[in-house]
Amino acid sequence: MAKATKKQALGRGLSALLKDPANDIKSADDKNADKVVGNIVELELQNIEVNPFQPRTSFNEETLRELASSIRELGVIQPITVRKLSFGKYQLVSGERRYRASKLLGNETIPAYIRIANDQESLEMALVENIQRQDLDPIEIALSYQRLIDEIQLTQEQMSERVGKNRSTIANYLRLLKLDPIVQTGMRDGFLSMGHGRALINIEDTSDQLDIYEKIITDKLSVRQTEALVKNYHNTASTEIPQPSQTPKYIKKGQKDFASYFGAKVDVQIAKNGRGKITIPFSSEEDFNRIQKLIKRAK
């Protein structure tokens, strides 16, 4: 317990050092930089801004509340990482869930590691750390890899070294970005696994790819069943992709239009008398509000 108290006191001491304009640290070569960089410092939440390079775009409200409850009981066990922008101003590199949960609790400070880096280094650190530590969905991971290629100019070999993954694994994730956007959305919403996505990549025709995607959802096909369906598609020139039974063409077209507009797999059920219902799934309060805005905009 005494050790923990000493560590917290050290963080407060460093915080005071950072508030002294005469000792403003702008680079790793400045006086006292070695006392700050790499050490845990208590920073005020109001002085930290969100990283615009954050690859994760949505945060589940329920899991944030669970994390907040844990922080209330145990504190922030793993400090966030920030980079220094200017005197008294910082930007998140990693740890946005801990940052959001701490704000949710009404905390004023948070333990942090401070790094001095330029924008490119910050982007690389954020992407690599999120790939390694966060529970990203397959498409988010793929997009992070793609950004490392496009914006940092890393090769797959260099990425392999940075994130500790085989080149073949990285290549498999990147191939997911060739899927139709509707299929990608299905993966992000948890309707499909990465195994399903890897099987669907082998269907080049977009219309057929979406037809098989719909069958996977409707019949709840496993990855093995999907692979068999795709194999049969290639082996038989006249393969007829099974469709949901007795589904009118206007419903099929409407489903695709809805899925494209709402960014989610929209379920349409129709009875023999022609009546039916439309179901739009959502994954969080934030996602619900997004869909609600789209509906209001369409009026």
Q: Which residues are catalytic?
A: 96
The DSSP bridge pattern shows strands 40-44 and 109-115 to be antiparallel
DSSP letter, residue 264: S
Which pair of tokens denotes residue 78?
Answer: 């793993």
> From start to end of the chain, where are the E strands?
40-44, 48-49, 80-86, 89-94, 109-115, 267-270, 276-279
Give the three-state DSSP class for 107: coil
CA distance 145 to 116: 23
CA distance 115 to 119: 12
- Alpha carbon 232 to its chain centroid, in Å, reads 34
State phi, psi for 82 to the nearest 5 degrees.
-130, 165
Q: Classify residue 5 by burial, with Cβ atoms within 10 Å: 0-12, 13-18, 19+.
A: exposed
Exposed e or buried b per residue across 145-160, where buried means at least 16 C-beta atoms within 10 angstroms of its C-beta: bebbeeebebebeebb
Give the helix ranges, DSSP H, for 152-248: 156-163, 167-175, 181-188, 194-200, 206-219, 223-235
